[in-house]
Amino acid sequence: MKNLPETKLDKIVSLCKRRGFLYQGSEIYGGLSGTFDYGPLGVALKNNVKNLWWKMFVDDREDMYGVDAAILMNPKVWQASGHIGGFSDPMIECQKCKKHFQADNLEDKNKCPLCAGKLGAERRFNMMFKTSIGASEDESSVSYLRPETAGGIFVNFKNIIDSFHPKFPFGIAQIGKAFRNEIAPRDFIFRLRELEQMEIEYFIRESDWEAEFEIWRKHMEEWMDAIGIDRSHVHEIEVPAENRAHYSKRTIDFEYEFPFGQKELYGLAYRTDFDLRSHAKGSSVPLEYYDDATGERFVPHVIEPSLGVDRTILALLCDAYTEDEMDDEMRVYLKLHPRIAPVKAAVFPLLKNKEELVAKARLVYSAIKSEIGAVIFDDNGNIGKRYRRQDEIGTPYCVTIDFDTLADDTVTVRHRDTGKQERMPIGELAGFLKKVIS
């Protein structure tokens, strides 16, 4: 995996566009750097990822509370969190071509890698997107698009305590968009200006932080196994103090072997009580937990597993993209776990011009679609071509209705990865699919 040819990413990008997973944002106007639009298959894949995360970390637990906070927040939030002062990257401008570079990515900080011109002095560049609230555009109307979903969690800590009186420890979870004015967005959906995150702030006692950190490290590993990210491509890297965010006392980066290098996929941080204390000070509202049993009142500490949705999609596509030979032909298929594949099954009549086959196939299609949802009907071209089309988008099963079906109500189920075919009674189809998806 480490020495993958560079072209693998190009092939994935091209497949994503051709088959409707991802398009460049604002494409017909020449695009907008750092933005991508998810097409029908991309949004289905992304929803499957987000729904599975929500199920695993919110619905299936008793100690987790979900929120969906506003993206626009009072700017005092970002003052208190330290983002106005410190959420910046070192930037260098070329004095000749005027292009900007992230200083950390430059091998030579004196010479422009594009035009060989002289580079200017390094300066800090705040990555938050500024906007104005209301009709006037002065300093008092300035607000920001949130750079992380975590902010919306911390400001709702008191609301969750007041509404739900949660037992301790407990967590607040959120999935949503975040915005970062990246100096150099790059590598498809790896470094975006508009991104999506799945974040949890898990509130704990300070004395428990090391044990809880290990528990959450395991949960993140379980998550990767559940969606089918190959963990032999993931490396857990201890982030040294000088590279950690200002709020963190310990961070592990989960780095994935992307085709363009080993880079951060997820982060796990111990944010101490930095955020609750800062927001309590900034808002003058105490942000504490009162333990009925012990009569203790304290400011909780927090463990934060932070997962980028888009980087999850990219890692999944990199792991899933496979080329092999089948029936003497080169084929491309996405080896996605059936649980997250955008389409679970495709139903085909063997021949398009045999009315009785098409009618039967339509019946089978409607029956399993009403139970599974993500099922498609295809009668276009020969069966081989239809298999290839489904392989390319990762559909795990193709169901063919042939003349035997008319006689004995059985169908052929073809498995994507092996091409193996088995005969199955129509009545067992939905149950079979539900089992492999669940």
Residues engaged in binding ligand GAP (CB under 6 A): 148, 150, 180, 182, 191-192, 195, 197, 199, 264-267, 304, 306-308, 310-311
The pair of three-digit structure tokens given for residue 189, joined into one six-digit string? 């959906």
Closer residue to ligand GAP, CB minimum distance, 81 or 395: 81
Closest residue to ligand GAP, judged by C-beta, is 308
Which of 316, 257, 233 lies closest to 48 in space, CA to CA?
Answer: 316
Q: What angle do CA 394, 56, 336 make, to 5 degrees?
A: 10
* 234 versus 398: smaller Cβ distance to ligand GAP: 234
**Residue 103 is encoded by which pair of tokens?**
């200083």
| Minimum distance, C-beta of residue 264 to ligand GAP, in the bound complex (Å) | 5
Specify the residue, 185 or 342, whose C-beta has the smaller distance to ligand GAP. 185
Task: Choose between 64 and 368: whose C-beta lies nearer to ligand GAP.
Answer: 64
- Radius of gyration of the chain from Cα atoms? 25
**Residue 291: partners with Cβ closer than 8 Å, 6 or more residues away:** 168, 297, 298
**DSSP assignment letter at 168:** S
Question: CA-CA distance, 167 to 293, in Å (whole number)?
Answer: 10
Rounded distance, CA 271 to CA 212, Å?
Answer: 12
Sign (positive/negative) of CA torsion 37, 41, 44, 48? negative
Rounded-to-integer distance, Cα 24 and Cα 32, Å:
7
Chain position carrying tokens 């199920």: 55
Question: Identity (one letter) of the amino acid at 411?
Answer: V
Which residue type is seen at 53?
A: W
Q: Taking the complex as a whole, how short is the minimal distance between the CB of residue 372 and ligand GAP, in angstroms? A: 30
Strand partners, 143: 131
3-state secondary structure of 436: helix
Residue (182 or 392) nearer to ligand GAP, CB = 182
Q: How far is the CB of 380 from ligand GAP (least distance, A)?
A: 36
Instruction: Report how far residue 338's alpha carbon sits from residue 359's, in angstroms, rounded to the nearest whole number.
Output: 27
* Closest CB 22 distance from ligand GAP, rounded Å: 13
**Least Å distance between CB 285 and ligand GAP?**
22
Q: Which is nearer to ligand GAP, 276 or 401 (CB)?
A: 276
Cis status of the peptide bond prior to 169, with omega within 30 of 0: yes
Minimum Å gap between C-beta 348 and ligand GAP is: 38
**Which of residues 190 and 333 has its CB atom nearest to ligand GAP in the complex?**
190
Can you point out the beta strands (E) in 365-425? 375-377, 397-401, 410-415, 421-425
Return the number of the residue (96 or 246) whose C-beta is nearest ligand GAP. 246
| CB neighbours of residue 189 within 10 Å | 25
Please answer whether residues 196 and 263 qualify as being in contact, where contact means their C-beta atoms are separated by less than 8 angstroms.
no
CA angle 37/253/277 to nearest 5° reads 95
Report, in Å, the least distance between residue 34 CB and ligand GAP.
Answer: 8
CA–CA dist 388, 399 (Å, integer): 14
CB 266, min distance to ligand GAP, A? 5
Q: Are 49 and 312 in contact (CB under 8 A)?
A: yes
Distance CA 289, CA 296 (A): 8
CB 377 within 8 A of CB 361: yes
Give the nearest distance from C-beta 197 to ligand GAP in angstroms: 5
Given the complex with ligand GAP, which of 252 and 430 has the nearer CB atom?
Answer: 252
CB nearer to ligand GAP: pick between 308 and 349 = 308
CB of 199 to ligand GAP, least distance (A): 6
Please, which residue, 127 or 326, has the CB nearer to ligand GAP? Answer: 127
CB of 304 to ligand GAP, least distance (A): 6
